[in-house]
Structure 1
Amino acid sequence: MIGEPRLLRAGIQEALQLLFPPQCISCGEPTVSDFGLCGACWRQTPFVSGLVCDRCGTPLPGAEEGRAEFCDDCLTTARPWERGRSALLYRDNARKMVLALKHGDRLDLARPAGEWLFRAARPILAEGMLVAPVPLHWTRLFRRRFNQSALLSRALARAAGLDHCPDLLVRARRTGSQEGRDRDGRFANLAGAIRVHPRRMDRTAGRAVLLVDDVMTSGATLAAAADACLGAGAASVSVVTLARVAKDA
């Protein structure tokens, strides 16, 4: 008798799989499991692996030797955060999926993306870390109806078993698009634009914070968010993004 509900649930799941077989989250072709990629899409998705910059997650040449390595950008540009990782390179099928999540209402992509983020971020995760997304200005959030970075941070926090604070940060002013701006212009555009929510200051003080965003290009947005957390008393800040724009991408 005790096992009957379990058997019933298993039977329902089998019936649902027959009626709605698993499909690739990118192209819709059949797959062996839910929320996965088919073989062809997997090969076209540039997952980050091997040796990476310990501060931004971009791939580096050579083999891992058990010590932190840094890319040229992170050696020449001051980063307010300590460590960083990225799950994908922003090109090919990865770019397609990021844009589908961001502009195509493909909210279902957040679940597998959260697992990819978790695998990428595992080396920089710490006990008691607070996970928070990079915020959107309320006008942009109103038009888009959701913050894709918040969907990603929630999925990552759930996979990692960490606390999640979706409204830790706010955009104090509306900023223009970063597209088309050079590095200096990107940083100037974000200066003073992001702050810790006044009602969340107590959650920041003394905590290690992990910031989550969909794409990192210059790092200006993450820098502004990290500065805000440190200014509110965070013990440290690390970052993780779903995708990273790399120079060779």
Structure 2
Amino acid sequence: MALLTRMGFARVIGDSLAPVVDLVYPPRCPLCGDAIDAQSGLCSTCWAMLDIPGEPACAACQRPLSGFAVDENAMCAPCMATMPRHDGIAAGTIYGPASRKLVLAFKHGRRIALAPMLARLIAARLPVLEGAWLVAPVPLHRWRLWSRGYNQAALLAKELARTTGQELAVDLLRRTKRTPSLGGLGRKARARALSGAIALSSSGRARVAGARILLVDDVLTSGATSEACVRALKKAGAQKVVIACFARVIDDA
């Protein structure tokens, strides 16, 4: 109750200061720089540039499928080849020029104020979260966290927990070792790089058994990192794990 009171007070203070902030820093579209009405959005032209996932989609992973007569239980080729461990993927956008620019600004440009907008796009694609869920970010290794200053996935998880009313579990998972960039690596090389890299935290072990977990990241590329997280969570007894990301890279499968 006290936490809700503090959050409500902070929201009132933020709303009261919004006109002053807008006067000092006029709202600009973070993509093109054009003037906009509020600090937390894009201009209409840039909104139209975002590629939002739609139907039809894979019943297992929500990958967009081509064709007009796709059965509602149809699955994409990767899921038919190997059934995923996760219980679905909710992506706010398909990775493209516009979402890439937002991700780079958020992740490497220290534009952390983009977190609420990016999280709203993710929240719009979430399935109904019945019952209690834990909202957990994909972890960063402590050295990466130290050099960057923040975990972008944790910022998104915080916003999604607030939006959905679910419990934030920011320290549920941890990275036990530094991993190289996975870009350009094949499936087996990615698996080797991530072997043993993700584990439950000491405080998280007692919370996972039987839990439903929303696993949050900014970008889902190959899925190797999220797969390692899902594996650790399911091994510890998680009932369900849904992956939530802002941008999803779609290959030609």
TM-score, structure 1 length as denominator? 0.87
Identity of aligned residues (%): 38
C-alpha separation in 1, matches of 2:150 and 2:136: 15
Amino acid in the other structure paired with 1:149:
A
Amino acid in the other structure paired with 2:248:
R
| Alignment-derived partner of residue 89 in structure 2 | 84
1:98-247 aligned within 5 A = 98-121=103-126, 123=127, 125-247=129-251
| Alignment-derived partner of residue 53 in structure 2 | 48
| Alignment-derived partner of residue 75 in structure 2 | 70
CA RMSD, Structure 1 to Structure 2 (Å)? 2.5
Shift in CA distance, 67/187, structure 1 to aligned 2, threshold 3 Å: same
C-alpha separation in 2, matches of 1:170 and 1:31: 39
Helix, strand or coil at the partner of 1:198: coil
TM-score, structure 2 length as denominator? 0.86
Q: Which runs of 5+ in 1 are unaligned?
A: 1-8
Shift in CA distance, 141/66, structure 1 to aligned 2, threshold 3 Å: same
State the Cα deviation string for residues 136-174 of structure 1 (Å, max 9, x = none). 111111111111111111111111111111110001111
| Alignment-derived partner of residue 26 in structure 1 | 31
Q: In structure 1, which of residues 32, 35, 39 is the aligned counterpart of residue 40 of structure 2?
A: 35
State the Cα deviation string for residues 56-95 of structure 1 (Å, max 9, x = none). 3322124598834322122213421111121111111101
Q: May I ask how many residue pairs the two structures share in their alignment?
A: 241
State the Cα deviation string for residues 146-204 of structure 1 (Å, max 9, x = none). 11111111111111111111110001111111011012221222122101101121221
Amino acid in the other structure paired with 1:225:
C
Q: Is the 8 A contact 1:58 1:86 kept in 2?
A: no
Q: Is the 8 A contact 1:50 1:64 kept in 2?
A: no
| Alignment-derived partner of residue 5 in structure 1 | none
Helix, strand or coil at the partner of 1:199: coil
1:205 Cα deviation from its structure 2 partner? 1.6
Q: Is the 8 A contact 2:152 2:218 kept in 1?
A: yes
Q: Which runs of 5+ in 2 are unaligned?
A: 1-13
Amino acid in the other structure paired with 1:39:
S
